[in-house]
Each structure stands twice: as C-alpha cells, then as structure tokens.
A and B are shown apart, each in its own frame.
Chain A
Amino acid sequence: MRCDYACGSHETLSRRSFLGGTAAGALSMLGFNGMIHADSAKKLASQQKQVVVFWLSGGVSQLETWDPKPGAETGGPFLSIPTSAPGVQISELLPYTAQQMHHLALVRGINTKENNHGKGAYIMQTGRKQQPGFAYPYLGSTFSHHLAPPNSPLPGYISVGAGGSSAESTFLGPRHAPLVLADGRAPNNLDRHDALSEERDLLRRTLRSKISQRFEQKRKTAHTEVYNESFDQAAALMSRSDIFDFSKFSDKDLERYGKHDFGRHCLMARQLVEKGVTFVKVGHTNYDTHSENFNFHIEQLGEFDRPFATFISDLYDRGLLEHTLIICMCEFGRTPRINSRIGRDHWGTAWSIALGGAGIKGGAVSGKTNETGTKVIDREVNGGHLFHTYYQAVGLDSTEEFYPNGQPIAKADPKTEPIKEILA
C-alpha cells in the first residue's frame, strides 16, 4: 500500500528532464557569463574524486536504520545489531550493511527543521533552505561542475532510477544538469545512422550551430542555449556509448545484487563509477510510511540492504572507494511517535544519514539523540554542515564562493562548518 500524501508529489522529478531546460529561468536571471572558473588548481588536485548518492525517497526511518532505539517506547519491534565498526550498532534490518560499517560513518544529529517532502529534499540536496528568488544548484550539478574533467565527453551527473530535473543545475548551466537514465535504460538512438559518415555528421552539426548562432544574435538565448547544448551532449554521449552498455553483467553479479530494479541500478552505478562518471545518483523509493511503517521497512530495506552493501564492498575491492564519496540520504527521517496506523510521519528534527568512502573516517559516528530519539542531544547539524563535509571529503574548499553574474554566493552555508570528526 502506497502512502498517498499529495504534497510529496511536488518532488516527483520528471523522468524526462535530461540536459537542462528550466534552468533557463535561473540562467537568464543571473546570466552565467560572470562565472569564475578560477578554482582550477583545486580542481586539478581533486580531479579523480567521484561521488555516489543513494537517495531513499519518501524519507527512510532513522530508527529502523542508523539510529535504532530497541526497547524504547518509540523504538518499534526491531533489535539493533553490532557491526564491523567496533561499538557501532545499527538496525537488524541492515545485516549486510552492518558488515561494511568500517567503511561508513554515521551522522546521527541532523536537525533540518523541515517536514515537507519538497523542502526537505531541497535542503538535503542543496545544503540550503529554499528561498524565493534564488535557486541553488543541487549537489549532483555542483560536484559535476567542480570535479568533472573539463571537456570530458562523459556527462558529469547521471541519475539512475532517481529522476532528476534539468532545473537542478540552475546557474551552473545545462552542462551540469542530470542525465536521467529513464527506467534504468541507456538512451535510445545512441548510434549514428547508417547513412551518415562521421564527416557528414560533423558537418551537419557544425552547420546547425552556425545557423543557430545567427538566429541568436539580438534574441534572448536562455532557451536556445539549452537546446544547443543538448546537441553537443548528444554528440558526446555517442562518442562514449560504451558507458551505457549494461548488457554484460555476469550472472553472478546479477545474483549478488538481486534481480530487481534497485539491484540492477546499483550495478549500473558501479559501471558508471568504473568508467569515470563524476557523480551518480541512485534512487530507491517508497519510504513514506505513514502507515504500516514496520512492514514497509522490512520490505524496502530487505531490498536495499544487500545491493547497497555489495556496492560498497565492490568499490573497495576495486580500489575505487578511496576516491569515491558515498552518501546515503533522503529528505528527512520519521517520527519517533508511532501513529494510530502503525506508521511514522515526517520528522526533520532528529535523524541520521550515512556516508563513506573518499575523505570519510570509516566507523565514525557524529551526534547523538536522546533515549526516545525525539531530540538531538549532542552535535546538532543541518544541511549546511553536511555540505561543508561533502566538499571537504572530496578535497574542495567549502568556504569559497560561486560568482554567478559577479555576485558572490557561498558554496556552503557560512554559518556552519564541516563535521570534522567524521573526516579522514
């Protein structure tokens, strides 16, 4: 049974938003000519870094994952289990993940003070509270902008089974908007038409862009910019169509990851990371458990646990984990109070996320909630702290600023700082 809270539908990001578009509004407002690319030295140093976000949409329960309270009135029926990280216990619903805990750190003191799906998702993916008149880029676009090698034919930000909107990149431009793999498929029409030689194809494109340029003189170009960019992206994707060949997973791998969409999406993410894609978002959905919270979490986490753990262990085995930051998060946690429908509602006041890999101290825990999980009692953090942490984990200075249109925009909320105790 799906919990049908209409408000959440605002965050339903469209399958089809690929390479930019509604970014146009923000682009035109800010004009992105003024953007400064001067942080190139830092960029060089961190060029190898990659990021993978697991997005558990709807809001997974912290009590059934990273911050269990067995025995408390709010604790629910599940026990906690020891993990591969000494002294760290998590919910028994995550037995495979528990074995990878030495690679993961937990942040248990999050208070984003936001119980709305859309606004919560915004905070977690931009590090800011939503405010009228200004749109911050989402982290996929931000890290694509900072970490993707210049002129790379690879898209900097690919979203697998997690939706994504072209509006996410805002002033960073369509180049850094998510490429959404619809239904976890590679894009169609990736191969050049038989009738065309490479030379003809190139000539057509060159002509196309020349004709467009003539039209764009003296016209407002926010939309056309995005349209032109999409042809460049198409050409780039064609030249690297190998990254989308998902046909060669071994039976053994398919078995290890599980024969369901999420398992397959994790395998796809592994391949994208291996092939050098800078930022990958993988989605797992339906955690909005206003009723039947516990049954839902058995089911959902039962599907999530093993592929997630296998992904981390595979990345480690292949030497990729040391330069790949993993973030497992969602828009908010769930209420300690169990409602009359055996559900838990929206709760941004005291909840947790997990992160691991590049720049993260495996097995570390930051923050603490009280016995019933209703309040953060130690090391309270919000979206700003998390963003400083992500930046610093991949070796970027989070105190710098963007300069869209010459206006300084802090990369992460200057009133906050990184969560140093979990940084390696």
Chain B
Amino acid sequence: MFQQNMRVYVSLLVVFLCPAFAPQTARANSSTDSAAPLVAKKPTLPVARRISPLIDELIQSGMQDYAKVASPVCSDSEFVRRVYLDLTGRIPTVAQTRAFLNDTSADKRAVLVDQLLNSPEYARHLSQRLDVMLMERLRKKYINVTDWEEFLRESVAENKPLDQLVREIMSADGADPKQQAAARFFLARDGDVNELTRDISRIFLGADLTCAQCHDHPEVADWKQDHYYGISAFLVRSFVFTDKKKKQTVFAEKAEGEVKFESVFEVRDKTSKGPETTLPVVFNGPKVAEPAFKKGEEYKVKPAKDVRPVPKYSRRAQLGDALTSSNNKRFARTMANRLWALVMGRGIVHPLDADHADNPPSHPKLLDLLTEELIAGNYDLKWYLRELVLSKTYQRSSTNELFASKSAQELADAQFTHAILKPLTPEQFSRSVLEATGQAELYRNSLKQKLSEATLRKNLVGYERQFVSLFGGLPGEPVEGFETTADQSLYLSNNGAIQGILSPRSGNTADRVLKIPADQPALIAEELYLSVLNRRPEATETKEVAELLSGKTGKERSEMVSDLIWALMMSSEFRFNH
C-alpha cells in the first residue's frame, strides 16, 4: 500500500512544499501520510533550525584545497540509491527509481528525504541500526528479542528523543511488564558489571575503557581506572534475579556494595596503596552522592530467600540521568558522532569509541556544533538525520578524478571530500538482493490488501537471518571495518537461496526482462540496470547485454538473464552504498 501510494504522496508533497519552510511543512504533513498502520505519529518536538549549510561550511574549512579536490554533488541515480539505503535500509524498487529519475522538480531530493523519514520502513531500518549499536547482535537471554525490536521500532516510529530512549533503557529492570523489553540491554549481558561497564562506556561515551579495568589505560592518558569504576559503581549493586513464582527474570538491586579496585601493575611493583573505591560518576562529571539510611532501614523490601529486594535508594536509577545529563557532553557528542558515521561512513572522531585527546576529531568545530545542536534539538533523530543527508557533504559523489591519479592520497576519507563507500549491512544487503531480483515484489503482490511493513518483513525475514548470520560479525562485538570471508562469497556464489530467486517468476526481475521483445536490447539493458543498480546503463553496458543475449532463446536466454542479474548484484557497485 505504501508503494502504491507513493507516487500520489510525492506529488502531494511537491504541490504543498516550498523549500523555505520545508522542515515545518514536512512535520505538519506527516500526519497525511497514509502509508499505513505503522506510520510515525506526528512529531511534537519544536522545529529546530537548518544546519546543513553550516555542516558544509565547517567541512570545507577543514581543508585548504577542499573546493578544488572535492567530488561534485552526486547524480540523481547515486542519490536515490544512497538515500533509500541510508533511510529505509534497502535499494529503491525499479518503479521508485524511475519515478525519482523522471521527476523534474527542483526540490525533489528534499521531498524524497521527508517522505522516507516518515515511512514505516525508516522506523524499521533505523531501529535495526540502533539495535546493532546497543546490542551488537547478542542472542536472546531472558527477554524476547522480538519484543525488544518492537520497543525500538515503536520508539523510532514515534520519533522518541534519543536521550529519552537511552534513559528508558537504563532505567528498565524488567519488572514492569510495560518496560520489560527495554531491560534486554542489561539482561542479555547477564547483568555482568564488567561487560556492562565496557559496553556503556563504549557505546554511549565513545570510550573503550576495557584496558582501564586492571590499571590506568596504558595507551590513552585520559582514561583512568577511576573512570572505569565510576561507571561500574552505578551497577555494582545490581544483579540478575529470577522470581520463581512469577517466572520472571529481572535486574534487581541491593542496598549495599562498593566497587573496589587496584592496579595489577601496582601489586606487582609492591607500591600498591591498597584497593580504592569510588562513588558512581560519569567520567569527570560530579560524583553522585547518596542518602544515608540507618542500618536496617535501607530497604523497601528486605532481601530474603526467593524474594526480590527493593532498596529505598537505587544507584542504578541514577545512571540514565547521569549519562544524558547536561553535565555530560560526552553522551551527545558520541551520539552525534555515531549518527554521523551511520550516514557518512566514518566518524568525525574515528574509531567511534576512541574519543580522547590523542585521537582528535577531524573537524572539532563541526563536532561541537553537532553536539550542541543535537542537545538544542532535543535529540530529534529525524531532524538530525534530515540535516545530515541534505548537506552537500552527504551528497558528494563517490567518484573523484583524483582517485585515478597519483595524488589520490590527498583524498583522505577523514576530509569528507567524497562519498565513502559503505559496505551494505547484512540487513541492507539481504533486503536489497530481494529488491533487485524482484523477490520482494512477489511478496508485495501476494500480500495485496494485507501489505504493510510488518507483513512484508515477516515474509522476508528468513533471508535476512541468513545474511545476518554470515555477514553480521560475532555476537557482542562491534563491527569494525569491512570484512569479507570465504563463507560469504561461497554463500553468494553457490547457495540455493540465492540461486533460487534469480530464475523468472511472474512479476520478478528476470520475468520482466524476459518479457521485453528480444529486438529491443536497449530496453532490456535499462530494465536490468534500473532494477539492480538503480541507474541507466552506459552505451557499452547496453552493448554488452545485447551481445550476451543475441541469438539466445528459451532456456538459454532465461539462464543468461539470471546470470546477468547475479553478476550485477554481486558487483562492487551493488555491495557498497556509494
């Protein structure tokens, strides 16, 4: 239904929108999006200002020759593919591609961006990206993964402010059925204080403090053991508790317990001052003081066998506030940077969890601006992403004449002179394979009236899981860089699940291509290229297709079409968001 309505919706927006007040109008209009049961509610956040031009200014000022060496703004073909992948997690369908390329209105890019941001697919895609960021594909433990995914999806769909989402996750103990799903963050990690400390600092504070567990960080002068145990101190009293009667597992808390730490090096040197303790504290922020209770009066519910204790004062309840408080700019800065990396392909601070003095941001002023604006904009995800993707920086082509010459080394990714090639995530890759082959279209057609983002995904999720297991990295570990494996290329080359969707079936890509008369090779090549690579073929490519199909009929012709689809889909052009 979403897809059927899209053209109508585009034209509606074109009629109503005017660039000068585009953001406001988009917000107001989002309620008219009839795309469906899962559409975002009308955002209620205040309208924040445009920062795309400032982004471009600050990027440009980061490099003397920037204007001279930067890539031009990308073509419509590059843009439509890129923005669909970044905002909805898949390539556009052949119809969506054609519609965009044929649209002659001047503001069509902004219109498309608003439309995608308000689509149900945006909520799915962005919540999946947040899921990977927060959970790193950890498997189920205590909490249903589907419930958690739905919690995230709904949060993104209603454009819940990101700081609020994080506070909800940090305060969920799983006891309240309404917030049970959000407790997955703690429970999937089995409440392990060290694992949680590591992940909270890495994910929300841009600091991989792992090495500061046993001693001050050996390589990063900024990171001390105190930082590590400051975070741990919020969590040290919490533990996983299973209520046997209710058959429910929650993240419970005691009223006492301190972190104790000493450097393993000091012990060896015999210079140890003995173990230290610290109050909860987020980096160099204020220490969270706590009320004193008379002995015996610390609990609302006292600990006993098979009873979940409830302390009067919860240390852990302070964690969400302390993390997202205005005292702690690290949170906003890390989120601004992570979301930037999500669409730009690289952090302004990079790696994303190495934000410290010896690893300065490529564009410090820009990162400051983004941090301030994210706070001022009330952590409005849609607004922030919209500003990023409407910047020229985002819209630069991935091609650059200099790459072919020796001076290519001048074009460091960190200068954002060109669009960085982003490997498709496993979810993007699987969904895009299904779009390119027309398999997703087959499901859309079969669902007809019942078609919604949720029903479609249900049909496609089997493919997604295969890709996630092969391309998704180790559970509990952040994805770093681009890794290809033998398992992956063998799967793509030989597995039946890929081979099976290449053959013609009524309405899929191979079928559409085969229905075009053999004496119209230009149309055949166009249908192939628009379906798989979302662009029209070059003359040489048309010629190549024509030659390959020339004289072939029946099974031979059909096989050649499938092989062409495979070859296009396995090319680097498809594998990367460019």
CA distance A190 to B489 in the complex (A): 10
Known interface pairs A14-B473, A231-B489. Does A218 touch B421 (Cβ–Cβ under 8 Å)?
no
Question: Shortest Cβ distance from B353 into chain A, in angstroms?
Answer: 12
Q: Which of B213, B403, B423, B541 contacts A219 (CB 8 A)?
A: B403
Number of interface residues of B (CB under 8 A): 60
Known interface pairs A218-B401, A231-B570. Does A238 touch B490 (Cβ–Cβ under 8 Å)?
yes
CA distance A90 to B217 in the complex (A): 37
**Contact (Cβ within 8 A) A21 B576:** no
Q: Which chain B residues border A179 with CB–CB below 8 Å?
A: 486
Residue from A16, A216, A231, A235 with most neighbouring chain B CB atoms (10 Å): A16
Q: Which of A6, A14, A189 contacts B487 (CB 8 A)?
A: A189
Q: Which chain B residues border A233 with CB–CB below 8 Å?
A: 486, 489
Residue of B nearest to A187 (CB): B486
**Contact (Cβ within 8 A) B483 A16:** yes
Q: Is A134 an interface residue (CB 8 A)?
A: no
List residues of A (180-232) whose CB comes within 8 Å of B's CBs.
180, 182, 187-193, 195-196, 200-201, 203-205, 207-208, 210-212, 214-221, 223-224, 226-231
**Interface 9-mer from B286-294, B365-373, B560-568:** B560-568
**Contact (Cβ within 8 A) A14 B571:** no
Question: Shortest Cβ distance from A158 into chain B, in angstroms?
Answer: 10
Known interface pairs A195-B499, A207-B563, A231-B493. Does A18 touch B487 (Cβ–Cβ under 8 Å)?
yes
Residue of A nearest to B409 (CB): A31
CA distance A371 to B194 in the complex (A): 39
CA distance A15 to B483 in the complex (A): 11
Known interface pairs A21-B482, A224-B421. Does A218 touch B487 (Cβ–Cβ under 8 Å)?
no
**Contact (Cβ within 8 A) A345 B570:** no
List residues of B (373-421) whose CB comes within 8 Å of A's CBs.
398-401, 403-404, 408-409, 411, 413, 418, 420-421
Q: Which chain A residues border B578 with CB–CB below 8 Å?
A: 215, 219
Residue from B268, B421, B483 with most neighbouring chain A CB atoms (10 Å): B483
Q: Is B264 an interface residue (CB 8 A)?
A: yes
Residue from B418, B491, B493, B548 with most neighbouring chain A CB atoms (10 Å): B493
Residue of B nearest to A7 (CB): B211
Question: Shortest Cβ distance from B305 into chain A, in angstroms?
Answer: 27
**Contact (Cβ within 8 A) B496 A25:** no
**Contact (Cβ within 8 A) B490 A237:** yes
A1-33 vs B: 1/0 string, CB under 8 Å?
000111101101011111111101100000100
**Contact (Cβ within 8 A) B484 A166:** yes
Q: Is B312 an interface residue (CB 8 A)?
A: no
CA distance A189 to B497 in the complex (A): 11
Q: Which of A21, A191, A215, A229 contacts B573 (CB 8 A)?
A: A215
**Contact (Cβ within 8 A) B484 A20:** yes
CA distance A173 to B268 in the complex (A): 41
Q: Is B210 an interface residue (CB 8 A)?
A: yes
Q: Is B146 an interface residue (CB 8 A)?
A: no
Q: Is A234 an interface residue (CB 8 A)?
A: yes
Q: Which chain A residues border B490 with CB–CB below 8 Å?
A: 187-190, 234, 237-238
Q: Which chain B residues border A7 with CB–CB below 8 Å?
A: 210-211, 213-214
Question: Shortest Cβ distance from A210 into chain B, in angstroms?
Answer: 8
Residue of B nearest to A191 (CB): B494
CA distance A211 to B570 in the complex (A): 9
**Contact (Cβ within 8 A) A208 B573:** no
**Contact (Cβ within 8 A) A19 B572:** no
Question: Shortest Cβ distance from B417 into chain A, in angstroms?
Answer: 10
**Contact (Cβ within 8 A) B485 A230:** yes
Q: Is B222 an interface residue (CB 8 A)?
A: no
List residues of B (445-489) whose CB comes within 8 Å of A's CBs.
473-474, 477, 480-489
CA distance A5 to B210 in the complex (A): 10
Number of interface residues of A (CB under 8 A): 68
B492-506 vs A: 1/0 string, CB under 8 Å?
011110010000000
**Contact (Cβ within 8 A) A24 B491:** no
Q: Which chain B residues border A167 with CB–CB below 8 Å?
A: 481
Q: Which of A166, A196, A217 contacts B483 (CB 8 A)?
A: A166
**Contact (Cβ within 8 A) A17 B499:** no
CA distance A130 to B564 in the complex (A): 46
A64-92 vs B: 1/0 string, CB under 8 Å?
00000000000000000000000000000
**Contact (Cβ within 8 A) A220 B418:** yes
CA distance A217 to B473 in the complex (A): 30
**Contact (Cβ within 8 A) B564 A207:** yes
Known interface pairs A22-B481, A215-B573. Does A223 touch B474 (Cβ–Cβ under 8 Å)?
no
Q: Which of A10, A215, A235, A345 contacts B210 (CB 8 A)?
A: A10
Q: Which chain A residues border B189 with CB–CB below 8 Å?
A: none
CA distance A114 to B564 in the complex (A): 54
**Contact (Cβ within 8 A) A193 B487:** no
Q: Which chain A residues border B489 with CB–CB below 8 Å?
A: 19, 230-231, 233-234
A393-409 vs B: 1/0 string, CB under 8 Å?
00000000000000000
Q: Which of A9, A204, A224, A234 contacts B572 (CB 8 A)?
A: A224
Q: Which chain B residues border A190 with CB–CB below 8 Å?
A: 490, 494
Q: Is A285 an interface residue (CB 8 A)?
A: no
**Contact (Cβ within 8 A) A211 B474:** no
Known interface pairs A189-B493, A190-B490. Does A19 touch B485 (Cβ–Cβ under 8 Å)?
yes
B544-567 vs A: 1/0 string, CB under 8 Å?
100010000000000100011011
**Contact (Cβ within 8 A) B484 A116:** no
**Contact (Cβ within 8 A) A10 B411:** no
Question: Shortest Cβ distance from A208 into chain B, in angstroms?
Answer: 4
**Contact (Cβ within 8 A) B213 A6:** yes
Q: Which chain A residues border B541 with CB–CB below 8 Å?
A: 214
Q: Which chain A residues border B517 with CB–CB below 8 Å?
A: none
**Contact (Cβ within 8 A) B486 A234:** yes
Q: Is B50 an interface residue (CB 8 A)?
A: no
Q: Is B198 an interface residue (CB 8 A)?
A: yes
Question: Shortest Cβ distance from A118 into chain B, in angstroms?
Answer: 9
Residue of A nearest to B477 (CB): A14
Q: Which of A4, A192, A223 contacts B494 (CB 8 A)?
A: A192
- A–B complex contacts, Cβ < 8 Å, 13 sampled: A19-B484, A19-B486, A189-B487, A201-B493, A205-B567, A207-B548, A211-B571, A212-B572, A219-B578, A224-B576, A230-B485, A233-B489, A237-B486
Give the 8 A-B residue pairs with the shortest CB-CB distance, closest first: A18-B485, A22-B481, A21-B483, A207-B567, A234-B489, A215-B573, A224-B572, A189-B490
B residues whose Cβ falls under 8 Å from a Cβ of A:
194, 198, 210-211, 213-214, 218, 264, 268, 398-401, 403-404, 408-409, 411, 413, 418, 420-421, 423, 473-474, 477, 480-491, 493-496, 499, 538, 541, 544, 548, 559, 563-564, 566-568, 570-573, 575-576, 578
A residues whose Cβ falls under 8 Å from a Cβ of B:
4-7, 9-10, 12, 14-22, 24-25, 31, 116, 166-167, 174, 179-180, 182, 187-193, 195-196, 200-201, 203-205, 207-208, 210-212, 214-221, 223-224, 226-231, 233-235, 237-238, 335, 345
12 further A-B pairs in the complex, CB-CB below 8 A; given A223-B572, A345-B268: A6-B198, A6-B210, A17-B485, A18-B483, A18-B484, A22-B483, A116-B218, A166-B483, A179-B486, A208-B571, A219-B578, A220-B400
